[in-house]
Amino acid sequence: VLAVLGLEAAAPGECELTRLLQDKLQYEMRLQYMKHYFPIDYTVQVQYEEVLRPSNITRLRNGTVSEAALRYLWFHVSSQAVLRIREVLPEKHPSWKYTQELCQLFDALGEEYSKYRQTDVETVVADVVKLIHSAGAESRSKAVRPKALLDNCLKVMRMLYGVPCELGIR
């Protein structure tokens, strides 16, 4: 039934890790660590491709990109966003430990995705992943608030994992 709907099942490890991520990305935590502990209107420079919104996922789904490829894309974009936030934090910053825990969850999720090769996913997704990890793409950067990056991360994660992993919206 899931295959008919175009929703390929997520691996059990993916589901468990996304549940843990969902717990870490609760609104109160994002608000405290990514807004209250930062200066007013603080932004982080990210590549244009590092901002993944639900509308991007909808457009890619309509372009018949597989759910597995979309989850692969979400992982790369979201883990890179957390790294971008962490790059600007000194170790003594109150948000350092929080971002460290998010990085550890993404590292564990990376183990789940290590079996994917870029040749296994649609070209459009592979191209975006290459752009995200290319060093020369800084010219296509934009300023984004840290909380907005994690808000998008959570929204897209719920879109992609909500049904196959039965993520309840809390």
Dist. CA 139–CA 17, nearest whole Å: 33
pTM summary value: 0.85
Confidence of residue 118 (pLDDT cuts 50, 70, 90): low
Residue 140 within any structural domain of the chain: yes
Residue 57 within any structural domain of the chain: yes
Residue 20 within any structural domain of the chain: yes
Residue 5 within any structural domain of the chain: no
Q: What DSSP designation does 1 have?
A: -
Closest CA to 128 of 64, 80, 62: 80
Torsion over CA of 21, 24, 25 and 26, rounded to 10 degrees?
130
Q: Give the model's pLDDT for residue 130.
A: 81
Domain at 95, CATH number? 1.20.1250.80
Q: Does the pLDDT of residue 81 top 50, yes or no?
A: yes
Contact 11, 108 (CB under 8 A): no
pLDDT in tens, 132-170: 877 665 567 899 999 999 999 999 999 999 888 877 654
Closest CA to 43 of 114, 125, 115, 144: 144
Residue 167 within any structural domain of the chain: no
Q: 96: how many CB neighbours lie within 10 A of its CB?
A: 15
Residue 110 within any structural domain of the chain: yes
Q: How many domains are contained in the chain?
A: 1
Residue 123 within any structural domain of the chain: yes
Q: Give the range of the structural domain holding residue 53, as residue numbers without chain letter.
A: 12-162
Maximum alpha-carbon separation in the chain: 50
Among the residues of the chain, which ranges form H helices?
2-5, 12-24, 27-31, 54-62, 67-87, 96-113, 123-133, 146-161
Q: Does the pLDDT of residue 121 top 50, yes or no?
A: yes
Residue 169 within any structural domain of the chain: no
Q: Does the pLDDT of residue 12 top 80, yes or no?
A: no
Determine the average pLDDT of the residues in 9-18: 76
Dist. CA 19–CA 56, nearest whole Å: 22
Q: Does the pLDDT of residue 10 top 90, yes or no?
A: no
- Got the DSSP string for 16-53? HHHHHHHHHT-HHHHHIIIIITS-TT--EEEEGGG---
Q: 92: how many CB neighbours lie within 10 A of its CB?
A: 6
pLDDT in tens, 93-110: 999 999 999 999 999 998
Contact 127, 49 (CB under 8 A): no
Q: Does the pLDDT of residue 85 top 60, yes or no?
A: yes
